[in-house]
Amino acid sequence: MGLLSKWGTGRSKSSEGTPKILDSQERNSASPVGPDVRERVSPIPLGSVQRSVSVIIPVYNAMPYLTELLNSLEAQDLSSDDFDVIAVDDGSDDFSGQILDVYSARNANFRVIHQENSGWPGKPRNVGIAASESEFVFFCDADDRLGPEALRRMVDYARKTESDVVVPKMVGLGGRRVQASLFTKTIEDVPLRLVLRSLSPQKLVRRSLLLENNIRFHEERVRLEDGIVMSACYLRSRKTSILADYDYYFIRTRTVGSNISSAPIEPAGYVRSLTEIAKNLLQDVPDRELAQLLVLDLFRRKGLRFYEPGRFLAFERDVQLQWIDSHSEFLERFLPEESLASLAPAESELTELIRQRAFEAIVDVQRTAYAVDAPMRAESAVLDGAGIQLQLSSIAPLNSATLVLKNRASTKQVDINIAITKATTKSNANLHTATIGRGDMLVFGKEIVDLWTVVRDSSGKVGTLARVVCPIGTKLPPLTNNVRVYSTAHGSLSIDLRK
């Protein structure tokens, strides 16, 4: 079946030559990249038979999760002669490099490449591609893990169906959300519009697809570099499949600072990456109407998500303005007004405000949308003889609010009035105060107490019960008189009275 007739449901390989995957004037990283390393490279005896798959892992300060991944790779039921692991240590300064050396010493098919820190996952992945001699590569992150049958099943399916890219079913770890609706069933030849919903790199890719089309990761600090590569793979793939018959890949909630690309997102750079993907879609999809729809989908998923009320309103004003300016330029360049017809009314209204750079109107819309359902945030806590003095902030102005103390069994509860003030924080959030008295804490005895709030706005609308958010860096008091105020693993505020 030809390219034009097949594009809506799958893709045939183009005969028009090598595509322009990267814009060399914007970023000069299109040429194949080899392992530019200065340190130890542990060898792999390749023998005379090509392996089926190389698992490529960029590693930077990945402990303690790295061992869980490596154990899952040792446990694969695919013969160790038929796959290799290429772990690229990107200058880790924890024990990740040493742990990798231990595993490579005991597994003949594990290889470690130690290099100076590049500061981003792109170069380690390119080094892994260059070091591989396998039929397929699988891009894996150092703090995730694979099911024991994952590699064998993916390789067998790719060969049976002649797929160039296989998208395996993902399962979230530690509260990580995954696109469960994408993995309800196996699809041998998945439509481009559907598979573009998944731009993360954890895919099985035929290595020749990368080599023949000169597809590589950007090596500088480029956001969405994995999305740029995966969209290019989908565009050049003869067939892309979703494989949903097994729990293949377990992806973990990222802890800030623990992975290579944990730095704050810079709006202009992020939108430059969106621009690169959009240019490739418009260039390589012959159906113009479909191409325009794909760019709209891209903006809806990767652009509008920064305007989710809680997220957008938490940005500093200058960051909000940067997002609006960058996205307005993107809309002017790629999405004329007539192309927005398929957006929902609220999305369409917001997109038009972004196009017009109507900052105050956008803030008003988001404040109204967030209103009373937004969780309150702990700004600081002071523990003294009178109890705990809390400063809490809300995104929206409030008429009244209640602080709710509950034990983990939900058998005891204390309600405390929150004093509503007109003060604001640096990010324009509304600041309020509350006092948890000693008597309030005595109700619970030696238990853990979780803090919740219920708020009411000026119209009288009552919000839902929500946990008090306590992000990393919040000023909290030290343990005093057997009372510990702390942030939980999920970033919520609690009190430990068990001491």
Question: Is residue 260 domain-resident?
Answer: no
Q: Same domain, yes or no, for 341 and 435? A: no
Question: Is residue 11 domain-resident?
Answer: no
pLDDT class of 254 with cuts at 50, 70, 90: low
Section 134-149 average pLDDT: 96
Which pLDDT score is estimated for 263? 62
226 given a catalytic annotation:
yes
Which pLDDT score is estimated for 7? 40
Interval 177-210: pLDDT, tens: 788 889 999 999 999 999 999 999 999 999 999 9
Q: Same domain, yes or no, for 328 and 404? A: no
Residue in 127, 160, 259 with CA at minimum distance from that of residue 200: 259
Interval 388-401: pLDDT, tens: 999 999 877 788 89
Q: Same domain, yes or no, for 208 and 272? A: no
Q: Same domain, yes or no, for 232 and 288? A: no
* 64 membership: H or E segment, kind and range: none
In the chain, % of residues over pLDDT 90: 66
Which pLDDT score is estimated for 155? 97
CATH number, domain containing residue 492: 2.60.40
In this predicted structure, the answer to whether residue 158 has a pLDDT above a threshold of 90 is yes
DSSP string, 253-318: PPPTTSSTT-SPPPHHHHHHHHHHHHHHHHHH-S-HHHHHHHHHHHHHHHTGGGGSHHHHHHS-HH
Section 456-467 average pLDDT: 79
Q: Among residues 370, 398, 420, which one ends one of the domains?
A: 370
In this predicted structure, the answer to whether residue 26 has a pLDDT above a threshold of 80 is no
CATH number, domain containing residue 61: 3.90.550.10
Interval 320-330: pLDDT, tens: 999 999 999 99
Q: Same domain, yes or no, for 358 and 379? A: no
- Amino acid identity for residue 49 in this structure: V
Q: Same domain, yes or no, for 55 and 170? A: yes
The number of residues in the chain equals 499
Q: Same domain, yes or no, for 189 and 82? A: yes
Interval 307-355: pLDDT, tens: 988 789 889 999 999 999 999 999 999 998 888 888 888 899 999 999 9
Residue 19 or residue 255, greater confidence: 255
Q: Same domain, yes or no, for 106 and 235? A: yes
Task: Select which of 226, 284, 440, 457 is catalytic.
Answer: 226
Section 88-106 average pLDDT: 94
Residue in 115, 104, 97, 124 with CA at minimum distance from that of residue 33: 124
Which pLDDT score is estimated for 371? 67
Q: Same domain, yes or no, for 380 and 361? A: no
Which pLDDT score is estimated for 216? 95
Which pLDDT score is estimated for 32? 37
Owning domain of residue 124: 23-252
In this predicted structure, the answer to whether residue 49 has a pLDDT above a threshold of 60 is no
Number of domains in the chain: 3
What integer best gives the mean pLDDT of the chain? 86
Beta bridge partners of 87: 57, 112
Q: Same domain, yes or no, for 119 and 211? A: yes
Q: Same domain, yes or no, for 287 and 430? A: no
Question: Is residue 204 domain-resident?
Answer: yes
Largest CA distance in the chain: 78
Residue 263 or residue 240, greater confidence: 240
Question: Is residue 8 domain-resident?
Answer: no
Q: Same domain, yes or no, for 50 and 195? A: yes
Which pLDDT score is estimated for 340? 87
Span of 37-46, 290-299, 378-387 with lowest mean pLDDT: 37-46
Which pLDDT score is estimated for 339? 85
Query: Using CA atoms, how far apart are residues 100 and 128, in angstroms rounded to an integer?
Result: 15
Which pLDDT score is estimated for 313? 86
Residue 64: cis peptide before it, omega within 30 degrees of 0: yes
Burial grade of 4 (CB within 10 A; 0-12, 13-18, 19 or more): exposed
Q: Among residues 347, 370, 393, which one ends one of the domains?
A: 370
Residue 126 or residue 365, greater confidence: 126
